[in-house]
Structure 1
């Protein structure tokens, strides 16, 4: 699978093999090859998210299903959103009952909130700069994060180009659903770049000249990214940690893969596919999408 090549000349916007990271030492850019976007140092919020996933994956499957769950509407309406980090190496102390946006909000609070050297990631900050989520929700929704990323808010810098994405960057999607809808969108955290998607997809491609890029992400999802029944070979290449025992009803936090579409001329993020084998790809007009990088 061929990784993107860096542009140079033409528009005067050449890419460097290494670029400055807001978290310390530089990360490798996607053009360095498959998986190279992992970088030399993990952003604090990515390290915290990975800790959740890896401890919960260390549990036996039956126990993991009890301690790692998506907070489905109608099933957990009276239960508070909960994301718990235990002691390192003690997997049974970790627990997730959350949704995509509320889980990442808890990750931001743990990484940059009260008691850290940063101190800005507080409920007050998110209410003021992202959305006031009211008494019935637990955090801003994914569509509110998408709007905030597109506009630019303190500590979140817009990342308009797919090739600029680094580990720890955030991608949020607005499903364009009516006000009051239970599920308004989805938000993920980039973990690493996997290369261009060269495998034929079951559905039609996006219109225009676009390049599909696969990224491994961390997210809290109502279902896995991938289809072990109809596309086992694709799932073997782009696995989802929630599918350890091929249980398609598995949910919660995990590593999965999504496809982000780049406009071949401008380099901008113009659409997505939920997973490499997903039958439908959406344009950024159908489902507005925006990416951002945390600047602590």
Structure 2
């Protein structure tokens, strides 16, 4: 970002001249030589409240990624590479019917249902001891619901020891275990029919006495089973084994495959499925907000149930001793001001001694707050407020206006509507951490990092309008001038 000095600049003599600490540095045999002046002003790379907001966002991202390393013996994110990220070095080899695709953020492995539709490696799990296997799965729109498809298996010489799969006879998802001679089968079935084209998280657990099938983090089927034998013939993504030959090739896409050398608990399955992430990070209207900074070793203790204004207010209260209920009541007439309250106080200069108005877009720094007043245009919503993470620079080519310069600004906020549309050509350069795909209902809400577009008047440099994201058009209702929706920014001091 323009205005941020380099690490060299921060440590060199020139960075200290401005605060009267040092006028020069010693060079050679005692010769004092003045440092060349910095070509950018000294600008803090962060602010205390930005660090606290960042912490909350990063823990929510850990939860969204299903962070759970304990007992992990195989992990294939399938993000365009065949690597095993568990540290146990079990990369998979792709068959001819397996290709890398990008239906979801990060990508996945798509399989065409042919004999080459698989990715395989050596055996990963000790299947004589409790274990867990999980994956995100999606049956292709062209798949047949009258055909069996296996997403994950580990094989013996004749048959798969376990199968995480779609069962055509039941018409739903299943987790199965078999005897080595394939004479015995035990199944745990999902409660509802499988749907073509829908991403679903499956987890199969064997605890030594029972098998359990979790669908999207919820236990849906269990069955007694003490079957125990070592499957040493390889771990497969996208196929199974029956009668000593490959079977049940998958037709669809598979993502984030994991193998744990232990039986995960229900709470742990909720973590790896993203269920906990959705419960902990909620855009909340009509209920008291709650933002909890948890313990570093337990992402599940980090909770954000808030809307844009209550999240940022609670960040300030968590960070600064002055940010009390009394302060906000005195200067904003509310212990949790609305976005419109912030905007008005910033513009009027009535936000108290700890906020300084920033008028020009180019003067924005990390940690600054930008508040938008919706002017009564949205029911039950006074506006939106965000925290600046970085001004990415000018932006042209989409939704340009004569006499105005457009800036891409990376922000932290709490929202029900991520800032962007996954899959569009300009989205990758300006993403949103809550975005999963372009399918309604798959994206996360709550706190995260995104990008908004703010415009400055060429005549004054002050805010002239905004866009919700790089993906909104020139004619969208979210592309509004400050006359329609007033904007004001402030720095925390």
**Fold match (TM-score > 0.5):** yes
Higher strand share: 2
Deviation at 1:245, TM superposition (A): 5.1
Q: Distance in 1 between matches of 2:396 and 2:414?
A: 27
Show the counterpart of 1:15: none
Show the counterpart of 1:94: 302
- Residues 123 and 268 (structure 1), Cα distance of their counterparts in 2 relative to 1, 3 Å cut: same
Q: Distance in 1 between matches of 2:452 and 2:403?
A: 19
Show the counterpart of 2:343: 146
Deviation at 1:253, TM superposition (A): 0.3
Q: Secondary structure at the match of 1:242?
A: coil
Deviation at 1:132, TM superposition (A): 2.7
Deviation at 1:88, TM superposition (A): 2.3
Q: Secondary structure at the match of 2:296?
A: coil
Deviation at 1:123, TM superposition (A): 1.0
Aligned partner (choices 169, 177, 182) of residue 368 of structure 2: 169
Aligned pair count?
246
Where in structure 2 are the equivalents of 1:200-239 lying within 5 Å? 200-201=398-399, 205-206=400-401, 208-229=402-423, 231=424, 233-239=425-431
- Given the two structures, how large is their TM-score scaled by the length of structure 2? 0.46
The answer to whether the Cα contact below 8 Å between 2:419 and 2:452 also exists between their aligned partners in 1 is: yes
The answer to whether the Cα contact below 8 Å between 1:224 and 1:248 also exists between their aligned partners in 2 is: no
Deviation at 1:108, TM superposition (A): 0.5
The answer to whether the Cα contact below 8 Å between 2:422 and 2:437 also exists between their aligned partners in 1 is: no
The answer to whether the Cα contact below 8 Å between 1:55 and 1:89 also exists between their aligned partners in 2 is: no
Deviation at 1:109, TM superposition (A): 0.3
Q: Distance in 1 between matches of 2:446 and 2:316?
A: 18
Q: Distance in 1 between matches of 2:275 and 2:428?
A: 22
Where in structure 2 are the equivalents of 1:158-197 lying within 5 Å? 158-177=357-376, 181-197=379-395
Deviation at 1:240, TM superposition (A): 0.4
Show the counterpart of 1:12: none
- CA deviation profile, 1:155-200 (whole Å, cap 9, x unmatched): 110000011000000000001107x941010000000111211242
Q: Distance in 2 between matches of 1:164 and 1:40?
A: 13
Question: RMSD in angstroms over aligned alpha carbons?
Answer: 2.9
Show the counterpart of 1:260: 454
The answer to whether the Cα contact below 8 Å between 1:100 and 1:187 also exists between their aligned partners in 2 is: yes
Q: Distance in 1 between matches of 2:392 and 2:46?
A: 17
Show the counterpart of 1:156: 355
Higher helix share: 1
Is 1:294 matched with 2:492?
A: yes
Where in structure 2 are the equivalents of 1:120-131 lying within 5 Å? 120-131=322-333
- Residues 48 and 262 (structure 1), Cα distance of their counterparts in 2 relative to 1, 3 Å cut: same
Where in structure 2 are the equivalents of 1:39-78 lying within 5 Å? 40-59=44-63, 60=66, 61-72=274-285, 77=286
The answer to whether the Cα contact below 8 Å between 2:452 and 2:468 also exists between their aligned partners in 1 is: yes
Q: Secondary structure at the match of 2:51?
A: helix
- Residues 40 and 127 (structure 1), Cα distance of their counterparts in 2 relative to 1, 3 Å cut: closer
Higher relative contact order (CA 8 A, sep 6+): 1
Q: Distance in 2 between matches of 1:264 and 1:89?
A: 48
Q: Distance in 1 between matches of 2:389 and 2:428?
A: 18
Structure 2 gaps of 5+ residues are 4-14, 16-38, 67-273
Deviation at 1:246, TM superposition (A): 5.0
Q: Secondary structure at the match of 1:258?
A: strand
Q: Secondary structure at the match of 1:243?
A: coil
Q: Secondary structure at the match of 2:376?
A: coil
- Residues 248 and 131 (structure 1), Cα distance of their counterparts in 2 relative to 1, 3 Å cut: farther
- Residues 194 and 41 (structure 1), Cα distance of their counterparts in 2 relative to 1, 3 Å cut: closer
Show the counterpart of 1:269: 463
Show the counterpart of 2:311: 103
- Residues 89 and 149 (structure 1), Cα distance of their counterparts in 2 relative to 1, 3 Å cut: farther
- Residues 40 and 124 (structure 1), Cα distance of their counterparts in 2 relative to 1, 3 Å cut: closer
Deviation at 1:91, TM superposition (A): 1.3
Q: Distance in 2 between matches of 1:245 and 1:63?
A: 19
The answer to whether the Cα contact below 8 Å between 1:68 and 1:95 also exists between their aligned partners in 2 is: yes
Q: Distance in 1 between matches of 2:454 and 2:317?
A: 27
